[in-house]
């Protein structure tokens, strides 16, 4: 069915314009332009939906519980947090991971995310034995996404060492066979795509990275990997391989146009040059990186090299795309003592570059998925904001409370109420 939505404003990265309708058909935007008639959305602006490019849905269950010192571990850091995360993961089963995913994805929709990339590594029973259906937990997350109506890129994650037994596979062939099976399961689901991931260079050996890179390239699959999140990770990689994590990804064929390096908070210039050369991207998760003490994204060096950037809410200490984007610029300001730093040549504000990172595109355009967000222009946060200033006001002055609705595949879907 073809329908034309007529909000007060349509927003892109540079501004907002009125008198513009968005026509959608079969889940795709087929027209954007001046119209006089349509389904009116008074008091609303329409803009592209945000994409949450890095999620561990079950970790939302840690929210608030880890913000204290354990008497037995008075020095709290990423590594002590990880122990608590492992304990949470040990208690999951297909029913509980579906419920955790449903709650997490519903909150994402309410915050303005219309798509999520789930970095999924809880595969087996707590003792490491496979479920009767090897992808039982992954399928539970597919069901959770379908329950609420969010678009899902599901990444089964390779884990060979470290972690807990339920994360790990005995050999690469077993892992890839399960990925292949999951791709078949997701094949007829219009809002579900399957890619592949390696957890990190510390969790898989070199031979696995080579095999995963080859498999992803052959299938044209998205490939994601944590890298350069913590100094200790880099030190271990240099000790084992004689090179830094992103250098190892390059050497094993794991960098390419569909590769996303997650975090890169401690990436050096040579590593970023490799990412740029291979056309790979970086996913920043500032609220989680701040919560875990991961460090600061080298945002200026990423922008200067033209590396595509995306955002994720990762451990879900917060689910708010506006806050993720704002933190990228404000962290750069804190480090430099200057303002308006992440401004590409020819532009005057950081807002366009940041919004493109959050949306994964420039604007609502014909041919793009009809994944949209309604913004409440009557909300007190946005009262009296000039349309030309609306993109910057959203990035620097707003939060998820201004989201009034989300559309996925041309259908209006609902998340949780703002009060939970």
Domains of the chain from N-terminus onward: 2-48+361-413 (2.30.40.10), 50-319 (3.20.20.140)
Judged against a pLDDT cut of 90, whether residue 226 lies above it is answered with: yes
- 108-157: per-residue pLDDT in tens? 999 999 999 999 999 999 999 999 999 999 999 999 999 999 999 999 99
In sign, the C-alpha dihedral spanning 342, 343, 348, 353 is negative
Catalytic site residue 263? Answer: yes
Q: Model confidence at 238, in pLDDT bands (50, 70, 90)?
A: very high
Per-residue pLDDT, averaged over 169-198, amounts to 97
- Catalytic residue, chosen from 12, 169, 294, 314, is 314
Q: Model confidence at 416, in pLDDT bands (50, 70, 90)?
A: very low
The residue length of the chain stands at: 420
Per-residue pLDDT, averaged over 83-108, amounts to 97
- Catalytic residue, chosen from 124, 226, 263, 316, is 263
CB 123 within 8 Å of CB 97 = no
In terms of Cα–Cα distance, which of 115, 52, 95 is closest to 316? 52
Judged against a pLDDT cut of 60, whether residue 270 lies above it is answered with: yes
What is the per-residue pLDDT for 70?
Answer: 83
Judged against a pLDDT cut of 50, whether residue 415 lies above it is answered with: no
What is the per-residue pLDDT for 73?
Answer: 79
Catalytic site residue 269? Answer: no
Cα–Cα distance for residue pair 410/109, rounded to 1 Å: 14
Judged against a pLDDT cut of 70, whether residue 418 lies above it is answered with: no
């Amino acid at each position: 069915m073809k329908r034309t939505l007529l909000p007060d404003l349509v927003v892109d990265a540079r501004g907002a314009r009125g008198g513009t309708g968005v026509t959608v058909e079969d889940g795709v935007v087929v027209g954007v332009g001046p119209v006089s008639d349509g389904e009116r959305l008074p008091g609303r602006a329409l803009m592209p939906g945000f994409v949450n490019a890095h999620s561990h849905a079950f970790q939302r269950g840690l929210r608030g519980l880890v913000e204290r010192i354990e008497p037995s571990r008075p020095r709290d850091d990423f590594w002590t947090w990880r122990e608590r995360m492992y304990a949470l993961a040990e208690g999951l089963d297909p029913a509980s991971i579906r419920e955790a995913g449903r709650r997490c994805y519903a909150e994402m929709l309410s915050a303005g995310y219309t798509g999520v990339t789930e970095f999924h590594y809880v595969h087996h029973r707590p003792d490491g034995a496979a479920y009767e259906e090897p992808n039982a937990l992954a399928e539970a997350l597919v069901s959770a996404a379908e329950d609420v109506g969010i678009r899902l890129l599901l990444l089964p994650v390779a884990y060979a060492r470290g972690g807990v037994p339920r994360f790990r596979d005995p050999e690469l062939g077993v892992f890839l066979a399960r990925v292949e099976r999951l791709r078949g399961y997701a094949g007829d689901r219009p809002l579900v795509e399957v890619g592949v991931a390696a957890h990190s260079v510390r969790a898989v050996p070199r031979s696995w990275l080579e095999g995963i890179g080859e498999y992803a390239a052959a299938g044209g699959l998205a490939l994601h990997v944590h890298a350069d999140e913590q100094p200790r990770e880099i030190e271990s990689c240099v000790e084992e391989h004689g090179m830094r994590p992103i250098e190892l990804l390059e050497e094993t064929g794991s960098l390419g146009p569909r590769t996303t390096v997650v975090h890169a908070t401690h990436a050096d210039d040579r590593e970023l040059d490799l990412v740029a050369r291979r056309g790979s991207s970086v996913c920043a998760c500032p609220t989680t990186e701040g919560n875990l003490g991961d460090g600061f994204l080298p945002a200026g060096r990423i922008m200067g090299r033209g590396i595509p950037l995306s955002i994720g809410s990762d451990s879900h200490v917060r689910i708010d795309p506006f806050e993720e984007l704002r933190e990228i610029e404000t962290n750069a300001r804190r480090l430099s003592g200057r303002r308006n730093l992440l401004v590409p040549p020819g532009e005057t504000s950081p807002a366009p570059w940041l919004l493109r990172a959050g949306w994964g595109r420039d604007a609502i355009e014909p041919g793009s998925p009809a994944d949209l967000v309604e913004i409440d222009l009557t909300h007190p946060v946005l009262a009296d904001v000039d349309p030309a200033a609306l993109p910057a006001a959203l990035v620097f002055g707003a939060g998820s409370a201004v989201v009034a609705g989300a559309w996925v595949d041309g259908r209006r879907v609902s998340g949780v109420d703002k009060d939970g």
